[in-house]
Structures are given as C-alpha cells and as structure tokens.
C-alpha cells in the first residue's frame, strides 16, 4: 500500500505532496520566532522526535527539553544536539508519558514552555480478539490519557510573554483516519487523541495557545519497522515532519488551530484553503465525510 497515491486521504485542493523537505519550510526561512523560546517534547531522542528537535535547533530555539524512557538514547541525543547546535541548551529526563505524576513534576519545574510536542506513542498490532485488555489499556493510557494530561498541565502553567501564541503539536498518525487488520487499538486511540486536541482548541477561544495534530508521514522508525509489513509503504524523509513542525509553530499556521494536517502537504496550498477552513469548522478534523 502506497499512501502517497491515495488522494482520498486529503483535501482535493492539496495537489503537491512532499516526500523530501523543501525551501518553504526550512527552519532558516520559516517565520517562527525561536529567540528565547523553549520546546518540550516527549519521545524526542529518536526517530521523528529527534528530527523535530534538530529542526527547532536549526531555527535557533534557546532550549529543548526531551522526555523519553531510555537513558541511553537520551544521553546520545543530548550529546549529538549539543555538539551540532551549541547555542541551544538541551535538557533530558527519563520518563514515560504514562507516568502522570512525573509528567506534572517535569512540566511545572521547566519554567516557561512555548512549544509542547507530545510525540510518544504505544502500539500493539494484533487481531482485535488477540489484544489483551492490558495492552488496549496501555495504548489508551499513553496515546489518549497521557496526551490529555500533559496538555492540561501545560495549560496550567503561569502565563508569560513569549512573543506570540504558544503551540501544542500532537504527533498523530494517518491511522486515525483508517482501519486495517491489527490496528484497532492504535487507530482508535489516535482518532480519540485528535478529537481531544480539537476540543482543547475549541475550549481555548482567547487564542493564547494554538493546537494541532500532525501526521508525520511514512517514516522508517523502530516502531514502524516492527509493525509495517515490508513493501506496504514508500518511506519518506524524516526531515519533512521536523521542518513542518517548525512551520506549524509559526504565525502562518495559526488558521489551522484545532485541525489535523499531514506534514507532506504543501504549505502554500494549505494557506490557499484559509477561507474554506474558516467557513467549515469540521474540515481537517475527525468527522464524517460530507
């Protein structure tokens, strides 16, 4: 299955699909003002999360806080980022997105956070009848309740001036739009998580925080290799979701507040949809097709 040849998965207005990064979203050209700002990301030491960290570091962000369970990958990520981007301070914490007290402790000790990116996920790809209740609960604990908890704690932080709205970028999956053998827990939990992000956006009308769900693309990560059969997808560049996330945190993307977008969609074609999106609150959300 080659997802890039399935145009029914995205709006007809999006004609250009980027499997590699491109000038318009490069951190050096984006309108995101990184000066003095802090990014906190879960699962940021490897794969898609690490690419996102790299892109924000290239944009000149002042501080990156990475949360991940494995100490070894955290140490390697910190060393690599510190060497390549000495002007960005990197902090790491060994923690799971499902450890709610630990998440609360880290978030509230971090001080100001400008960009929050929940990237951690849990997947158990088995026939539905073979998934244990514990496995299903674990997927929802990480993918749904864990997401809700860290966003809620982020919103509870004291307001500080940061030069524009803050951002929550939930790293989701196009699986939230699909069903396939073995995907009942993963697909349904990702759809629920997207709904939570849309509701956060709906319930924060003052505009101090913008909320987005992001499909990163068909990226060859450890999790993908373990769960995606060989030949099912055409793998795409991990730099695309990293660079797109920086663009999404900037002022050009504010009209996408509460929406679910794909990193590979051309940003100028998205911007051309601004009026249509303003007139149709359900577009680019998890809803029934009209």
- Distance of alpha carbon 218 from alpha carbon 37, whole angstroms: 29
User: Would you state the pLDDT for residue 224?
Assistant: 60
167 in catalytic set: no
Is 63 within the bounds of a domain? yes
Residue from 37, 166, 190, 239 carrying the catalytic annotation: 190
Residue from 55, 98, 172, 176 carrying the catalytic annotation: 172
- Ramachandran region, residue 164 (left: φ > 0; alpha: ψ -120 to 50; beta: rest): left
The residues near 70 (Cβ < 8 Å, ≥ 6 apart) are 45, 94
**CA dihedral sign of residues 251, 254, 255, 256:** positive
User: Would you state the pLDDT for residue 2?
Assistant: 40
| Nearest by Cα to 34 from 251, 255, 267 | 251
Is 127 within the bounds of a domain? yes
93 in catalytic set: no
Is 287 within the bounds of a domain? no
- Domain containing 261 — which CATH number? 3.40.50.720
User: CA torsion angle for 93, 94, 99, 105 (degrees, to 10)?
Assistant: -30
Listed in order, strand segments (DSSP E) in the chain are 38-42, 63-68, 89-94, 115-117, 166-171, 209-215, 260-262
Is 288 within the bounds of a domain? no
User: Would you state the pLDDT for residue 254?
Assistant: 95
Question: Number of structural domains, the chain?
Answer: 1
Is 206 within the bounds of a domain? yes
Please give the residue range of the domain that contains residue 75.
3-9+18-279
Is 286 within the bounds of a domain? no
Residue from 55, 186, 188, 212 carrying the catalytic annotation: 186
Is 134 within the bounds of a domain? yes
pLDDT, tens digit only, all 290 positions of the chain? 344 444 456 788 899 999 999 999 999 999 999 999 999 999 999 999 999 999 999 999 999 999 999 998 999 999 999 999 999 999 999 999 999 999 999 999 998 999 999 999 877 777 788 888 999 898 899 999 999 999 999 999 987 666 678 999 999 988 667 777 777 778 888 999 999 999 999 998 777 899 999 999 877 666 666 656 565 677 789 999 999 999 999 999 999 999 999 999 999 999 999 999 999 988 888 877 66
User: Would you state the pLDDT for residue 46?
Assistant: 93
By the 10 Å C-beta count (0-12 exposed, 13-18 middle, 19+ buried), 6 is classed as exposed
- Return the CA Rg of the chain: 18
Write down the H helix ranges in 41-146.
47-58, 71-84, 100-109, 133-140
Is 53 within the bounds of a domain? yes
* Antiparallel, parallel or unpaired: β 166-171 and 209-215: parallel
Give me the long-range contacts of 187-195 (CB less than 8 A, separation at least 24): 189/122, 189/139, 189/140, 189/143, 189/144, 190/121, 190/143, 191/286, 192/140, 192/143, 192/144, 193/143, 193/144, 193/147, 194/170, 194/260, 194/285, 194/286, 195/285, 195/286
186 in catalytic set: yes
User: Would you state the pLDDT for residue 173?
Assistant: 84
Calculate the alpha carbon distances from 29 to 26, 46, 114 in Å: 5, 25, 20
């Amino acid at each position: 299955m080659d997802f890039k040849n399935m145009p029914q998965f995205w709006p007809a207005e999006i004609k250009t699909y980027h499997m590699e990064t491109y000038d318009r979203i490069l951190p050096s050209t984006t309108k995101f003002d990184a000066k003095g700002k802090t990014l906190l990301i879960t699962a940021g030491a490897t794969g898609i999360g690490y690419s996102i960290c790299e892109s924000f570091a290239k944009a000149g962000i002042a501080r990156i806080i990475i949360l991940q369970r494995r100490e070894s990958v955290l140490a390697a990520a910190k060393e690599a980022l510190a060497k390549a981007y000495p002007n960005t301070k990197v902090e790491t914490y060994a923690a799971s997105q499902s450890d709610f007290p630990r998440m609360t402790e880290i978030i509230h000790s971090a001080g100001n956070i400008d960009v929050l990116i929940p990237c951690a996920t849990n997947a158990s790809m088995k026939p539905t009848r073979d998934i244990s209740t514990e496995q299903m609960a674990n997927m929802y604990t990480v993918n749904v309740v864990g997401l809700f908890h860290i966003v809620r704690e982020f919103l509870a932080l004291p307001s500080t001036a940061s030069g524009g709205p803050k951002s929550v970028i939930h790293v989701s999956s196009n699986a939230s739009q699909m069903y396939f053998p073995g995907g009942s827990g993963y697909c349904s939990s990702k759809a629920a998580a997207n709904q939570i992000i849309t509701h956060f956006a709906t319930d924060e009308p003052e505009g101090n925080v913008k909320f987005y769900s992001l499909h990163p693309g068909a990226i060859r990560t450890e999790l993908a290799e373990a769960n995606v059969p060989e030949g099912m997808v055409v793998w795409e560049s991990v730099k695309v979701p990293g660079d797109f996330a920086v663009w999404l945190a900037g002022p050009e993307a504010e009209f996408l507040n509460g929406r679910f977008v794909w990193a590979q969609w051309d940003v100028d074609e998205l911007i051309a949809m601004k009026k249509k999106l303003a007139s149709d609150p359900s577009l680019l959300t998890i809803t029934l097709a009209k």
